[in-house]
């Protein structure tokens, strides 16, 4: 007797439910293996003491649990005001006084969850019904996901990219399950996870947007599909608002911008630039460059999709397998149709197509937005699942060939990982606590306002200072000059804290100029003079940190010879020098006149090439007799020295480029040919066209 359409659908659903009961075979052993492997790798890589960890990760976790508004100001630059709650667990673990290895192990265990979810996602889209085949499929996808150099770099570290990736992947896993068996609960909980992930780290917004493309494949009538999409969007927005609200409220009350410093072009807080904060470091310069990116990622050079060397074969694999699969599908579509695929195979194909479409949307948005692979970790896991799924489908009747190809790919990626990948930004040994800090008694007991100088704010030291101490990074990537809303805030803090004012810089001490060593007294005074202050060399202290590499910021075009390599015994020791500061009573009229003259030159440069020198009209800084401005969106630095205007791509090389004489630029903007070529920025004066 023939069955009706509704009966056939019910039978298919029951069959899918029977298969789904075994969808994730050997779950617990796989989870344990992933966690143990993550812990072992973290131990082998060493403790991560990355720039970002010292600059803002630890400080942000501290500020999440301690109200620093009104005490600090731009303590870690603009990153001081990112949503800090994703970094609170790292700070809490350090604050407990646990050994560094125990903290790293705990973080590695937390980070291994991203592999658990990848395994679940792979088993969800696997078309095979046998537990053995599902296990093999899941292990292949999970192994390929683990071989992501960026994921390996972040295991056991303080980075929140990998932590929030678990929320993103969890959201996409629920969407994938909704594709097999549509339920409103899966859609709602997926939106909640993605909304929270976006609130904790706004770069996850791209993955949330791409989730709409995945949900569009849900097997429901058009009206019900529209209802699911609407419900997903509303829940996504509400969950984001609720998760962001506690921190956004503080930002709104302080700066008038609930997303400060982000979206300031809309809210227009006077305390930060209103220009776009899009970072062009890894954004493709052309369509051709964007199309080549999957293959460029195979390179062993740095600055391709991450600052360090991170060759990755998986995206090229995904693209090649997809193209071959598409050609094979088109070829087969011209032949007579065979037997109809089973409901399980149809559901798997739908899920793979949905994940692939969502990944493609995400890839395009990501490349245009940043191209930084640190922000793409969850989609890298999705790419591994989709690539393995397509390979299994393409070679469904050629298991030996499929297995040989998988083995060759894993071997090739393993070779790249072993020979060419940097696993730590700033590796340190597992000795003692995460931060082995020795603070002089005076600084540990006496509250001061600390004025930090340098691109590296060293804000990680704040929790170790005396209770009630304030911190301001006024001279770094985002300079806080003597004028405007920023200056008013800084001056108010200085007035309130006087005479308990200190400067803090990287280095064992602040050296007199005669010593010809960095950091020099004159360079420190140059920065402090913007607020009418100078160093009191009679009252200086040194903070010692064991287990961190010492790094001293050298002024541009410094006249002091660079120091040689440190002996092994001093390689993992660093210092922060702090001196009392007092009012500077010297006549500043000559310096202010020089500053105004340089501001005119740099303003004209920004007007001549607004695409490169952004954000415009930032504060000029004085370092080692050089006036300069930082342009973080393009990693450029421009300065005036010895009558010449120069600029440099600080991220890609030390070569300074001269673009004219100071007196020429002082008159008016010169005609420039400027832009980006071969991953570097250029600017040339067009002579004869003034």
What is the tens place of the pLDDT at every residue in 457-466? 999 999 999 9
622 pLDDT band (50/70/90 cuts)? confident
**What does the pLDDT look like over 405-451, one tens digit per residue?**
999 989 999 999 998 888 998 888 998 899 999 999 999 999 999 99
* Average model confidence (pLDDT) across the chain: 89
| pLDDT value, residue 12 | 47
Nearest CA to 613 out of 593, 595, 592, 637 is that of 637
Q: What percent of the chain has pLDDT over 70?
A: 91
User: In 84-159, which residue ranges form alpha helices assigned H by DSSP?
Assistant: 88-95, 100-111, 113-125, 131-146, 149-154
**What does the pLDDT look like over 333-382, one tens digit per residue?**
666 655 556 677 788 889 999 999 999 999 999 999 999 999 999 999 99
Distances (CA, A) of 568 to 13, 48, 572, 607: 65, 18, 8, 48
Rounded to whole angstroms, how far apart are CA atoms 84 and 143? 31
3-class SS string, 78-97: EHHHCCCHHHHHHHHHHHCC
**What does the pLDDT look like over 86-100, one tens digit per residue?**
999 999 999 999 999
Query: Does residue 587 contact residue 534 with C-beta atoms inside 8 Å?
Result: no
Please give the backbone phi and psi of residue 134, each rounded to the nearest 5 degrees, phi first.
Answer: -65, -40
Q: What percent of the chain has pLDDT over 90?
A: 63
β-bridge partners, 520? 511
Q: 266: which 2 tokens?
A: 């809309």
| pLDDT value, residue 562 | 57
b (16+ CB within 10 A) / e for 54-77: bbbbbbbbbbbeeebeebbbbbbb
Query: Does residue 612 contact residue 681 with C-beta atoms inside 8 Å?
Result: yes
User: In 21-99, which residue ranges form alpha helices assigned H by DSSP?
Assistant: 27-45, 51-52, 58-65, 88-95
Quick check: pTM over 0.75? yes
| pLDDT value, residue 558 | 59
| pLDDT value, residue 86 | 96
Please give the backbone phi and psi of residue 395, each rounded to the nearest 5 degrees, phi first.
Answer: -115, 45
Query: Does residue 195 contact residue 238 with C-beta atoms inside 8 Å?
Result: yes
Weakest mean pLDDT among 3-17, 60-74, 278-292 = 3-17
2 pLDDT band (50/70/90 cuts)? very low
Rounded to whole angstroms, how far apart are CA atoms 115 and 118? 5
Mean per-residue pLDDT for 19-30? 75
- The DSSP code for 268 is -
CA dihedral angle for residue 282, residue 285, residue 289, residue 294, rounded to 10 degrees: 20
**What does the pLDDT look like over 535-574, one tens digit per residue?**
999 999 999 999 887 665 555 555 665 555 555 555 688 8
**What does the pLDDT look like over 101-130, one tens digit per residue?**
999 999 999 999 999 999 999 999 998 778
Q: 67: which 2 tokens?
A: 């109200």
| pLDDT value, residue 369 | 93
| pLDDT value, residue 67 | 94
Q: 606: which 2 tokens?
A: 């920004």
Rounded to whole angstroms, how far apart are CA atoms 485 and 218? 51
β-bridge partners, 640? 627, 645
Q: Looking at per-residue confidence, does 190 or 14 come out higher?
A: 190
What are the DSSP E strand ranges found in 392-469? 427-428, 436-438, 449-453
Mean per-residue pLDDT for 594-617? 91
Mean per-residue pLDDT for 51-64? 96
């Amino acid at each position: 007797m023939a069955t009706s359409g509704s009966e056939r659908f019910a039978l298919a659903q029951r069959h899918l439910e029977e298969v789904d009961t075994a969808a994730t075979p050997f779950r617990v052993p796989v989870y344990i293996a992933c966690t143990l492997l993550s812990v072992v790798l973290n131990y082998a890589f060493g403790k991560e003491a990355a720039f970002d960890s010292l600059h803002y990760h630890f400080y942000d976790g501290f500020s999440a649990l301690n109200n620093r508004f009104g005490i600090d100001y731009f303590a870690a630059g603009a990153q001081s005001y990112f949503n800090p709650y994703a970094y609170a667990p790292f700070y809490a673990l350090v604050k407990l006084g646990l050994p560094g290895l125990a903290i790293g192990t705990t973080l590695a265990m937390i980070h291994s969850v991203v592999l658990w979810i990848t395994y679940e996602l792979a088993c969800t889209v696997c078309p095979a019904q046998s537990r053995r085949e599902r296990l093999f499929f899941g292990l292949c996808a999970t192994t390929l996901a683990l071989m992501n150099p960026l994921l390996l770099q972040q295991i056991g570290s303080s980075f929140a990219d990998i932590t929030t990736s678990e929320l993103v992947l969890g959201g996409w896993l629920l969407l994938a399950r909704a594709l097999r068996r549509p339920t409103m609960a899966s859609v709602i909980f997926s939106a909640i996870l993605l909304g929270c992930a976006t609130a904790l780290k706004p770069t996850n917004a791209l993955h949330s947007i791409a989730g709409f493309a995945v949900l569009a494949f849900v097997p429901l009538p058009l009206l019900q599909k529209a209802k699911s999409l609407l419900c997903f969007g509303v829940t996504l927005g509400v969950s984001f608002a609720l998760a962001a609200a506690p921190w956004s409220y503080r930002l709104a009350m302080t700066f008038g911008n609930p997303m400060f410093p982000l979206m300031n072009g809309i809210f227009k807080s006077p305390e930060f630039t209103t220009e776009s904060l899009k970072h062009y470091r890894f954004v493709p310069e052309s369509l051709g460059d964007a199309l080549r990116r999957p293959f460029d990622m195979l390179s062993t050079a740095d600055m391709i999709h991450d600052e360090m060397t991170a060759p990755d074969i998986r995206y090229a694999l995904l693209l090649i397998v997809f193209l071959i699969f598409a050609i094979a599908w088109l070829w087969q579509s011209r032949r007579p149709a065979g037997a109809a695929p089973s409901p399980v195979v149809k559901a798997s194909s739908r899920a793979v197509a949905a994940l692939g479409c969502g990944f493609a949307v995400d890839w395009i948005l990501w490349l245009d937005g940043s191209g930084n692979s640190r922000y793409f970790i969850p989609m890298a896991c999705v790419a591994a699942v989709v690539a393995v799924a397509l390979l299994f489908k393409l070679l469904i009747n050629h298991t030996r060939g499929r297995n040989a190809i998988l083995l060759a790919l894993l071997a090739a990626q393993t070779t790249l990982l072993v020979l060419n990948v940097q696993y730590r930004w700033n590796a340190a040994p597992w000795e003692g606590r995460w931060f082995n800090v020795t603070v002089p008694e005076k600084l540990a007991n006496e509250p001061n306002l600390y004025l930090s100088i340098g691109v590296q704010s060293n804000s990680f030291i704040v929790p170790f200072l005396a209770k009630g101490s304030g911190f301001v990074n006024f001279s770094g990537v985002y300079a806080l000059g003597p004028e405007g809303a920023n200056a008013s805030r800084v001056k108010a803090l200085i007035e309130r804290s006087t005479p308990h004012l200190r400067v803090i810089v990287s280095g064992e001490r602040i050296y007199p100029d005669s010593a010809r060593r960095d950091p020099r007294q004159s360079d420190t005074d140059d920065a402090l003079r913007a607020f009418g202050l100078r160093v009191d060399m009679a009252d200086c202290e040194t903070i010692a940190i064991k287990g961190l590499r010492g790094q001293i910021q050298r002024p541009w075009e410094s006249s002091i010879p660079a120091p040689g390599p440190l002996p092994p015994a001093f390689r993992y020791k660093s210092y922060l020098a702090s001196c009392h500061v007092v009012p500077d009573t010297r006549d500043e009229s000559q310096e202010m006149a020089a500053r105004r003259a340089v501001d005119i030159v740099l303003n004209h440069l920004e007007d001549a090439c607004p695409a490169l020198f952004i954000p415009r009209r930032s504060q000029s800084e004085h370092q080692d007799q050089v006036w300069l401005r930082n342009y973080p969106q393009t990693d450029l630095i421009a300065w005036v020295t010895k009558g010449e205007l120069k600029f440099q791509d600080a991220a890609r090389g030390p070569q300074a480029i001269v673009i004219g004489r100071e007196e020429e630029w002082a008159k008016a903007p010169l005609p420039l040919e400027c832009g980006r070529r071969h991953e570097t920025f250029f600017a040339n004066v067009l002579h004869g066209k003034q």
